[in-house]
Amino acid sequence: MSKEDCAFCNRTKFEERIIAEIDNFYVVASLGQITEGGYTLLIPKEHTPCMAALDASRAKSAISIAIKIRNAVSKEFRFNPFKKYPVTMFEHGVVGQSVKHAHLHFLPAVLDITPKVLTDFTGCEVNEITNYLFLRDIYESRQEPYLFWTALNGKGMICWNPPAPLQYLRTVAAEILGYPERANWRSMDPELDKQFWQKTIARLKPYF
């Protein structure tokens, strides 16, 4: 996909779903809201293949904004109030992307994704990371596709070079939550989805 064809390089494609613009990033209510609101994306304005490919300055900015998003989503859409880490983050790093432009997902749900990934991609290397900048450093040398997600303990997990299908982590999340019909954002009921993403915008905008 060229920059000219990229949906995330064309602001008009998602302008009505923008929650905030911070530095060189958009905070956007996702299409295909798996939960009943709260599902949010962090998207760099500059065309970038994955979040780990950001330069050092933008990566630090992304981490700062991600913390704000996580905290806001946690406060407004805390579906698991007794869990320490009520927001699951994930990314398709140049594999499984339906839009081939970096975007980090924030889903207000506690999901145990790791067992599914380990079962589906038994031959792939899986690492735990404690800092997203560490992922950037590894990616800079490896230049391999990856899946990123947060585990139940809040730490980041990386699966390197998996043969993941499109929207793999979305599909896993939707199945765990009991909404498999919401896995594919392209085929979700558009009216229901609009209700959810409008709620997301209304409740999260005050935080930014």
pTM of the model: 0.94
pLDDT at 81 over 90: no
> Which residues fall within 8 angstroms of residue 43, CB to CB, at 6 or more apart?
8, 25, 26, 27, 28, 101, 102, 103, 104
pLDDT tens digits for range 103-128: 999 999 989 999 999 999 999 999 99
pLDDT at 24 over 90: yes
pLDDT band at 137 (very low <50, low <70, confident <90, very high): confident
pLDDT given for residue 121 in this prediction = 97
pLDDT given for residue 134 in this prediction = 84
What is the token pair recorded at 152? 């139940």
% of the chain exceeding 70 in pLDDT: 95
pLDDT at 4 over 90: no
Domains belonging to the chain, first-starting first, are 3-207 (3.30.428.10)
- DSSP string across 6-42: -TTT-GGGTGGGEEEEETTEEEEEPSS-SSSS--EEE
pLDDT tens digits for range 154-187: 899 999 999 999 999 999 999 999 999 999 999 9
pLDDT at 79 over 70: no
pLDDT tens digits for range 139-161: 999 999 999 999 988 899 999 99
Average pLDDT estimate for 94-111: 94
